[in-house]
Amino acid sequence: MPTVGDITQFLGGQIFGRTTLPDVDLSGKTMIVTGANTGLGLEAAKHLAKLNASKLILACRSIERGDKAASVIYDETNCKNQTEIQVWELDLADYQSTFSFAKRVVEELPRLDGFLANAGVEVEQFELAGDLELTLKVNVISTFFLALGVLPKLQETSEKYEADTTMTIVGSLIHNFAPDNQLDIRKEKDIFLELSRPEIADMAQRYPLSKLMSHQCARQLAKHVSATAKPGSTHVTINWANPGWCATSLVRSKKKSLPELALMPLIGWTAEYGSRTLVYALTAGKETHGCYLSESQVKQESSYVRSSKGQEIAQRLWNDLITRLREVRPER
């Protein structure tokens, strides 16, 4: 649970923090945004178009909704002359869709300069997707399966063009408030499977917990990239970013507590404002590798994530994730 310092940082950032957009030109670059048809993803995609990204891929569950989002971006940014927008289907609740998307990225794209892993779900009722609870599968397992799947294209682009490439995982300040005690699962057990048991699934706390787990896995992914990089070569920057507490469709669709109802109008941000930090992180460069960004700057994560126990659990989560990847990934 959060310390006083965690709560102070959250409130200070939300009330006094400021987000900024990067002053960069993305001409010639290819960017992917998942969950790009609404909310933070759509607003981030608009900003990338305004920054002259040459190719912008909107990854969405629905091609129809993705096409509508593309039309909105073209209309609002007047970017048709410099940005080609493509809509690719992606459903993170479906392993086949996840792996097919990654395969398409590797095989079809000449280059990939930035990947914004924004797609996620927040549900109130327990629901299985295969053998995993839906929130865990989408927000953690498949998010990192996809991250590992597109990583080779980011690395190839970095080496071939001597360019900075970045993967940004969308985190959340709410990881500070996650019930970390729910991760205290016996070492011989698979954490994801245990948390997918309906009799112990605390759905009221599931979204914050999934974001905590995402932060922990992002740390492990950054370590993996650093450990496997060729000596002397440039490598992909992995960072994760908090867009702030924003009034998005994801937030609006859930039942709110009285404090949430009272505070959102006072200190909540718009999706556009929150998306600026995501775009900032995606273009911030190698100095942010392995870092958490909030309010368009590097910040500390929760005390739990930084603790020895939190790091031990992070390694277990990563091991369980990689074991599952080996079991379900299609033969190459």
- The one-character DSSP state at 122 is -
**Mean per-residue pLDDT of the chain:** 91
Strand partners, 246: 269
Which residue among the candidates 50, 211, 280, 304 is catalytic per the annotation? 211
CA 254 to chain centre: 20
Q: Is the pLDDT of residue 253 over 50?
A: no
Per-residue pLDDT averaged across 177-182, rounded?
Answer: 95
- SS3 call for 227: helix
Domains of the chain: 4-328 (3.40.50.720)
Provide the token pair at 33. 């945004």
- Is 273 designated active site? no
d(CA 26, CA 281): 14
Exposed (0-12), middle (13-18) or buried (19+): which is 261, by Cβ within 10 Å? Answer: exposed
pLDDT at 169 over 50: yes
Band of pLDDT at residue 100, cut at 50, 70 and 90: very high
Mean pLDDT of the 256-264 span: 58
> Catalytic annotation on 211?
yes
* Tens of pLDDT, residues 202-246: 999 999 999 999 999 999 999 999 998 877 777 799 999 999 766
Mean pLDDT of 296-300: 92
Q: Which of 95, 207, 292, 304 is catalytic?
A: 207
3-state secondary structure of 87: strand
Under 8 Å between Cβ of 70 and 58: yes
Q: pTM for the full model?
A: 0.93
Distance set, CA 284 to CA 22, 33, 84 (Å): 8, 16, 23
Does residue 86 contact residue 45 with C-beta atoms inside 8 Å? no
